[in-house]
Amino acid sequence: MEVSEDRVAKLSEVLRELSLSDVLAFEERDPQFIVVKKLCTALNDPGLVAVLVAMNSVVSYMLTGRGEKHWGYFSEYFSRNRPSDLCRDFKAYVMKSPYLARGRDVKVNRIDRFCSAKLHDKLRDLTNLNEAWRLLANGLRSPINSKTVVFAIKMLYYAYRACGVNVKPPEDLPVPVDYRIATLTQCSGLINADVKVLMSRQGIVQEAWGRVTRLSGIPQVNLDSLLWVIGGALIYSDFNVDAALRKLIGDSLIPPSKVQVFRDLMIELSRECLRGDSN
């Protein structure tokens, strides 16, 4: 299983048509970013929002619905139910959320581990995300580049940004390899392997996107935001690029001046899975 250098080069070439400010503007229109921002407004406490987001990140797997819906429910729940005891109240949310029904007991156990390590105290108001990355990996007894850990750090970055706090994500934070990223890795032709295999071999997937990052100049944490939203649109349209593009434009995710660049990017990300009339 090897990374295709030709595909790394082509994806990087298209991505270089987007500036970092273009990507950051897209990030701010990400549905996950928007619902976290709503939580910031409701609670008016960036440190509390950051910890809640980190806790939700570590249970955001095996969902019973789309990730966007799960995060919307989370934001609405805690906007209405400000926690007074973080660990107790978050476990109550895990027990109630319809999106966390699968493997609920395991998710509660993960929150117990989070709280036993005092991460709800250690991470609160900790804007040094390199330090937060180390603390989270140690506290959960997980590899530092595991999907759960890197996704939680990405979402901590989102939380502080959404709450208006200037933070810098770790430069070497890799993409969290979930189903969407694994699917785009296969469909883009970056690695010729089954999606399930790619999800179990996250190291080589992170290496592939790391090469794209270095050539495109877009940090992986910001690239992941782009890929995750575009990946959702492509997957749910069965890789019909035109239908996915219309959805993103309709959701105000793509400005008119960048439509062609995003269309080119979506075609390259769909190379092996294209449907419809896109070419």
Q: How many domains does the chain have?
A: 2
Q: What tens digit of pLDDT does each residue of 127-184 get?
A: 999 999 999 999 999 999 998 999 999 999 999 999 999 998 898 899 888 899 999 9
Q: Is 178 a catalytic residue?
A: yes
- Give the 3-state secondary structure of residue 142: coil
Residue in 22, 30, 37, 178 annotated catalytic? 178
Share the mean pLDDT of the chain: 93
Q: Would the pLDDT of 82 be above 90?
A: yes
Q: Would the pLDDT of 84 be above 90?
A: yes
95 lies in a domain? yes
**What pLDDT, on a 0 to 100 scale, did the predictor assign at position 116?**
96
Q: Would the pLDDT of 276 be above 70?
A: no
- What Å distances lie between residue 195 and 127, 147, 179, 199, CA to CA? 34, 15, 7, 6
14 lies in a domain? yes
Return the bridge partners of 275, or none. 240
168 lies in a domain? no
Q: Is 45 a catalytic residue?
A: no
80 lies in a domain? yes
Q: The domain spanning residue 200 has which CATH number? A: 1.10.1670.10
Token pair of 83 as six digits: 């926690």
- 124 shares its domain with 36: yes
- 240 shares its domain with 139: no
Q: Would the pLDDT of 51 be above 90?
A: yes
- 64 shares its domain with 99: yes
* Domain boundary, last residue among 127, 162, 197: 162
**What pLDDT, on a 0 to 100 scale, did the predictor assign at position 277?**
52
- 193 shares its domain with 121: no
**What pLDDT, on a 0 to 100 scale, did the predictor assign at position 162?**
94
Q: Would the pLDDT of 253 be above 80?
A: yes
* Domain boundary, last residue among 134, 162, 190: 162
Phi-psi region of 186 (alpha: psi -120 to 50; beta: other; left: phi over 0): alpha
Per the model's pLDDT, the better-predicted residue between 107 and 171 turns out to be: 107
Return the bridge partners of 191, or none. 3
120 — pLDDT class (breaks 50, 70, 90): very high
**What pLDDT, on a 0 to 100 scale, did the predictor assign at position 28?**
86
Q: What tens digit of pLDDT does each residue of 196-237 get?
A: 999 989 899 999 999 999 999 998 888 988 998 899 999 999
Percent of the chain whose pLDDT exceeds 90:
79
**What pLDDT, on a 0 to 100 scale, did the predictor assign at position 171?**
85
**What pLDDT, on a 0 to 100 scale, did the predictor assign at position 29?**
83
Residue in 147, 168, 247, 277 annotated catalytic? 147
- 16 shares its domain with 96: no
25 — pLDDT class (breaks 50, 70, 90): confident
What is the separation of C-alpha 60 from the centre of its chain, rounded to a whole number of angstroms? 10
Provide mean pLDDT across the span 250-262: 89
- 152 shares its domain with 51: yes
- 55 shares its domain with 133: yes
- Give the 3-state secondary structure of residue 191: strand
- 35 shares its domain with 152: yes
Range of the domain at 206: 5-28+173-269
Q: What tens digit of pLDDT does each residue of 29-50 get?
A: 888 899 999 999 999 999 999 9
- 140 shares its domain with 68: yes
* DSSP 8-state class, residue 172: T
- Give the 3-state secondary structure of residue 243: helix
